[in-house]
Amino acid sequence: MDQLLRPAGVRALAVELPNQVRTITLPTGQSALRHTLPEGVTGLDLDQAVAAEVMRAAKLEPQDIDLVLSASFPALPEPCIGNSTPMAWNMGMESAAAWNIESACAGGLVALRSACHEVMLGEYDTVLLVVGCPYSHTIEAGHPASDVIGDAAFAMIIGPTAPGRGLVSSVIRNSGPTCPLVSWSVDLAVPSGIRLAVSGKTAGQLENWALKQLPELSQTLFERAGLTAGDVDHWVCNAPTPRFVDRALETMGADARDGVNTNRLVGNIGPALIGVSLFYNAILRDFQPGDLVLCCSVGSEASLALSLMRWPDDVALGTVPEAGTVDQMKAFENERFLVEAV
């Protein structure tokens, strides 16, 4: 059966950060950035902007896209539907297939796995994957959570790759014990009419649960691939809290310096975290073709997902957002390790 599968992976990657930015101070005393959508701009607008950017980077036209996948969470402005079909239609992809994937904050990595499998099976040749997070529309202005969350999106083109490149293996576990930590309710006081509610202890409880799972899950991942932690060149982890990346890498047998921590740049941006992290890791750590990349993404009331991929040849990266420059990310990383050294 394996001989029938063709290799598949990321062919292009782009991110979008709103230019409406404010600087906050973390409990550690460090500064951090939070990006939010301007008034009148929806989550679908954000998704379509990053989709246009990744297609520009990949030099593709709407008619080149066979399948549109969306894992935006929450999928706004229509929270009960999802953005894949309106996005495909609005952008001139009338003949493309389109559907939505939902796995909360792990949705980006779950959707990447699904997109690769569609290409591996030969069902589709060119998949547009878009993952956005308009968290700011789920709380009112001035809410304490506004220092924690932000808005962002990423998009990928998934397609066939050279032999020995692309997705290698993946493993996913449900995060059922975290379901009571997050709730949603109808509330017209917030922009979307749908309120996200979390307790002050939610982040710590989710983090601690995930850290207990990672040693076993990462070992399962390596066994499936016939590899070890020592084979990994780059560790890409979502960063819902300031310390999660460092703790997660240590738990899986890596060093904090083996991966970039984007929390100070963007905060908790839900399912967009893994794509934004992959984008800045690829730039700052200078990914090379064939490098082994481990991706880790945890989502409350959804999934904990891990994957291994061999970085493909000639991956096209979109333009670095003006609101999140490489120099800013480098500065945050330098301070991160300076603090640890002290």
pLDDT in tens, 15-51: 999 999 999 999 889 999 999 999 999 999 999 999 9
The segments of the chain whose pLDDT lies below 50 read 1, 341-342
pLDDT in tens, 162-216: 999 999 999 999 988 888 777 777 777 788 787 777 665 666 777 888 999 999 9
The total number of residues shown for the chain amounts to 342
| Tokens found for residue 257 | 């310096």
Our measurement of the distance from residue 54's CA atom to the centroid of its chain's CA atoms, rounded to an integer in Å, reads 15
**pLDDT, position 75:** 86
Please check whether residue 49 is in contact with residue 115, taking contact to mean a CB–CB distance below 8 angstroms.
no
From the CA atom positions of the chain, what is the Rg in Å? Answer: 19
Cβ-based neighbours of 15, under 8 Å, separated by 6 or more? 50, 152, 153, 154, 155, 272, 275, 276, 279, 318, 321, 324
Our measurement of the distance from residue 231's CA atom to the centroid of its chain's CA atoms, rounded to an integer in Å, reads 23
Helix residue ranges, H only, the chain: 43-58, 84-90, 107-120, 202-225, 244-251, 263-266, 273-284, 326-341
Percentage helix, strand, coil, to 5, in the chain?
A: 40, 25, 35
CATH of the domain at 61: 3.40.47.10
Please check whether residue 14 is in contact with residue 318, taking contact to mean a CB–CB distance below 8 angstroms.
yes
Beta bridge partners of 68: 98, 128
Nearest to 143 by CA among 72, 203, 77, 191: 191
**pLDDT, position 342:** 39
Please check whether residue 272 is in contact with residue 154, taking contact to mean a CB–CB distance below 8 angstroms.
yes
* Cβ-based neighbour number of residue 202 at 10 Å: 17
Please state, rounded to an integer, the average pLDDT across all residues of the chain.
92
253 is in which domain, residue-wise? Answer: 2-341
Helix residue ranges, H only, 91-147: 107-120
**pLDDT, position 1:** 37
**pLDDT, position 199:** 61
**pLDDT, position 181:** 75
Rounded-to-integer distance, Cα 274 and Cα 316, Å: 17
| Tokens found for residue 130 | 């878009």
Beta bridge partners of 166: 310
| Tokens found for residue 268 | 């908790």
Domain tally, the chain: 1
Report which DSSP code applies to 295: E
Rounded-to-integer distance, Cα 173 and Cα 325, Å: 34
Rounded-to-integer distance, Cα 306 and Cα 298, Å: 9
Cβ-based neighbours of 258, under 8 Å, separated by 6 or more? 232, 234, 235, 249
Nearest to 12 by CA among 316, 329, 333: 316
**pLDDT, position 3:** 54
Angle at 45 between CA 304 and CA 189, to 5 degrees: 80
